[in-house]
Amino acid sequence: MSRPPDVDLRSWLSAISGLTAAVNVGHDLPELLELVAETARHLLDLDFCGIMLPSDDGTSLRIAAASGLPGEYVATINETRPIALEPDASRGAPASRAFRSGKPSSVSDVELEPVSSWSHVAREQGYRSILAVPLVTTAGVLGTLNSYRSAVHQFTTEEVEQLALLAEHAAIAIRSAQVLDDLREQHELIVRSEQIHDRFVRIAAESGGVAGIATALCELVGCEVTVLDSDGEVLATEPARRPAPEAPVVVPQREVGERRFVRDDGPDAVADVVLDGTVVAIVRLAGQAGRLDPLGVRAVEHACVVLALEVLRQRTAAAVEARLRGDLLIDLIGGADPNAKSVRERARLMGHQLAAEHHVVVAEAHGRGVSPAGEPVRDAVELARRAAAEALRRTSHLRPRPLIGALRGVVVALWPSEITTPSGEDVLRRAIAATYGGATSTVAVVPPAGAGLAAAYRTARGALAFAAAEPGSDRVVTLDDLGAAGPLLQFAEPAALRRYADRTVGPVIRYDADHGTDLLRTLRAYLDADLDRAATAELLVVHPNTVSQRIRRVESLTGLNLRSPRSVVEARTALLLSDVARAGEHGVVN
């Protein structure tokens, strides 16, 4: 491009040098744009000059800097009547045509142009002629440099070249300033990101917990923050304006690779807290869908990293505590002396007072059920452990603390007798229902006795097993509910009971095992039906003659005469003792 013939070369060199110097000293983009507009206006003796850049959505051009135009006017135009960016260069304002074509575009007399929003603005401001040249770099068209004159004017080739030459240098300077601004923003983002990370780490180091992390994130992003565990239970909400939901929120189970780190979910933004490839918690930011800036995203990312560490810390602590409590519980129900100094000290460190009187409560779930996440329940031992953890969570505020653990697929609690609200049986039933997705359960409660905790546990397990043989579920069983079986469970040795029962019904049990018959079941039904063969046949869904044949076989094996009241009592007693012995053996701790 040729040198401008009618303009003082020194003025041009000084102007170009000024733009370069402005970039080198680190002026930010708005300052540089104002300098370009002012330089062009004075260098080319224009009435007005402006620089237009595309809007964020790319639908219009807005005045980014101006010389000779009042600031209020510029703000009004940008807010109410920005220059529309037409789809192509064949129509629209000169600035739109120059931006779309990448070539200069001019209008010598606005009054001759068709009435439109841009020509109305021109008439309102008082300029008659316009020349717009594109700000072109290797990255594309950045915007336009516009010159305005208040009189009708036919722009010459020299004038077009002059403005284009200035636009060429201005585009380089603007692009350089944009790069510098991007670097400043990135540097500030890194610095602020490090500060945010340090803040979260400090909260974790000071044991601020999930609530402390939620509070910090709330302050950083300026919205309500809710942290939920993988089952949808609220762990923390900040600010705590909303009550916790009555039912746990079910979090959809998805693979980690199927989601972005921060994503939109309705009006909220959500992020996953991932530990060892598994989503362990969800962070929900109310009303932030599509609104988080890069720093906000960084804040959420750092919060999720520290939350993962906090979850790991809590899991480790909970696992250690559960193991210690489980060891103590097994020792006590295995026969350890609760008054021994070492045992009492272990209990004291975990908040338990073994000197207090305790009930023994055991609970077992019925049916497979589903977990709160919607998964089918399969592993009774694992779910008993989870139910025990849930019961511990529900009783963490109680003093003295109940000693709760899982053993052989059931939940066991040594419940301080002084705590009546809530009751131990109610807590265990609710914990099982929460863990098993509403499953029912049978709970056995044995009061303290002089025989000690080990004997009370054996009795409770026996009562639970004895009750399981009876129809019905979701109930609480005490020794009084078991009738004569209660005292037998509490005071008799299972081995002695089995020996007595075996003398009477042992031959029947062995015959069934050897021949695959149902003699023992028939005997039970016959006694339950008060020796009515027709009723027995109906219960067993067999012919009455079959019942008669089986009863004669039982009499032959046992030597009993079931027409004799004494033999009937002996048979009933033997069956009861056999059941009690079998139930009592459930309480033996290996």
Does residue 13 sit in helix, strand or coil? Answer: helix
pLDDT exceeds 80 at position 378: no
Q: What is the pLDDT of residue 438?
A: 62
Whether this prediction's pTM lies above 0.95 is answered by no
Model pLDDT for residues 472-525, shown as the tens digit of each residue: 567 788 877 777 767 776 666 777 778 878 888 889 999 999 999 999 999 989
Model pLDDT for residues 126-155, shown as the tens digit of each residue: 888 999 999 988 878 989 998 888 899 998
DSSP code, position 248: P
Give the whole-angstrom CA distance, residue 587 versus residue 444: 12
With residues binned 3-state (H G I as helix, E B as strand, rest as coil), the percentages for the chain, rounded to 5, are 50, 15, 30
- Asked whether the beta carbons of 183 and 161 are under 8 A apart, the reply is no
In this prediction, residues 76-82 reach a mean pLDDT of 85
Q: Which two tokens stand for residue 316?
A: 């480790």
pLDDT exceeds 80 at position 541: yes
At residue 247 the predicted structure's pLDDT band, cuts being 50, 70 and 90, is very low
Q: Picking from 13-27, 215-229, 314-328, 452-466, which range would have the lowest pLDDT averaged per residue? A: 13-27
Structure-model confidence comparison of residues 409 and 380, the more confident one: 409
Give the whole-angstrom CA distance, residue 271 versus residue 150: 56
Q: Which amino acid is residue 415, in one-letter code?
A: W
Q: Which amino acid is residue 489, in one-letter code?
A: L
pLDDT exceeds 60 at position 3: no
In this prediction, residues 394-406 reach a mean pLDDT of 87
Q: Residue 135 burial (CB < 10 Å; 0-12/13-18/19+)?
A: buried
Q: What is the pLDDT of residue 22?
A: 65
Give the whole-angstrom CA distance, residue 55 versus residue 169: 23
pLDDT exceeds 50 at position 242: no
pLDDT exceeds 80 at position 315: no
Nearest to 281 by CA among 309, 260, 257, 258: 309
Q: What is the pLDDT of residue 13?
A: 64
Q: What is the pLDDT of residue 259?
A: 39
pLDDT exceeds 90 at position 375: no
Structure-model confidence comparison of residues 24 and 411, the more confident one: 411
Structure-model confidence comparison of residues 372 and 312, the more confident one: 312
Q: What is the pLDDT of residue 245?
A: 38
Give the whole-angstrom CA distance, residue 260 versus residue 282: 13
pLDDT exceeds 90 at position 549: yes
Give the whole-angstrom CA distance, residue 411 versus residue 432: 9
Q: Which amino acid is residue 438, in one-letter code?
A: G
Give the whole-angstrom CA distance, residue 350 versus residue 321: 8
- Strand ranges (E), 163-300: 225-229, 234-238, 262-265, 268-275, 278-285
* Sequence-ordered list of residues with C-beta below 8 angstroms from that of 37, at least 6 positions apart, any chain: 49, 50, 51, 65, 66, 67, 145
Phi, psi of 587 (to 5 degrees): -90, 0
Structure-model confidence comparison of residues 380 and 342, the more confident one: 342
pLDDT exceeds 90 at position 552: yes
Domains of the chain: 9-183 (3.30.450.40), 207-315 (3.30.450.40), 334-484 (3.30.70.270), 494-585 (1.10.10.2840)
% residues pLDDT > 90 (the chain):
16
Does residue 148 sit in helix, strand or coil? Answer: strand
pLDDT exceeds 90 at position 283: yes
Q: Residue 151 burial (CB < 10 Å; 0-12/13-18/19+)?
A: exposed
Give the whole-angstrom CA distance, residue 178 versus residue 160: 26
Give the whole-angstrom CA distance, residue 379 versus residue 408: 11
Provide the residue count of the chain.
Answer: 590
Rg of the chain taking only CA atoms, in angstroms: 43
Structure-model confidence comparison of residues 299 and 241, the more confident one: 299
Give the whole-angstrom CA distance, residue 429 versus residue 411: 10
Mean pLDDT of the chain: 81
Q: Which two tokens stand for residue 112?
A: 């001759």
Residue 349 to residues 199, 240, 285, 323, 346, Cα–Cα distance (Å): 32, 33, 39, 14, 5
In this prediction, residues 576-590 reach a mean pLDDT of 63
* Sequence-ordered list of residues with C-beta below 8 angstroms from that of 137, at least 6 positions apart, any chain: 171, 172, 175
Q: Which amino acid is residue 397, in one-letter code?
A: H
Give the whole-angstrom CA distance, residue 8 versus residue 6: 7
Structure-model confidence comparison of residues 306 and 439, the more confident one: 306
CB atoms within 10 A of CB 270: 20
Q: What is the pLDDT of residue 584?
A: 58
Q: Which two tokens stand for residue 55?
A: 């809007």
Instruction: Check residue 472 and give left, alpha or beta (phi > 0: left; psi -120 to 50: alpha).
Output: left
Does residue 558 sit in helix, strand or coil? Answer: helix
CB atoms within 10 A of CB 244: 12
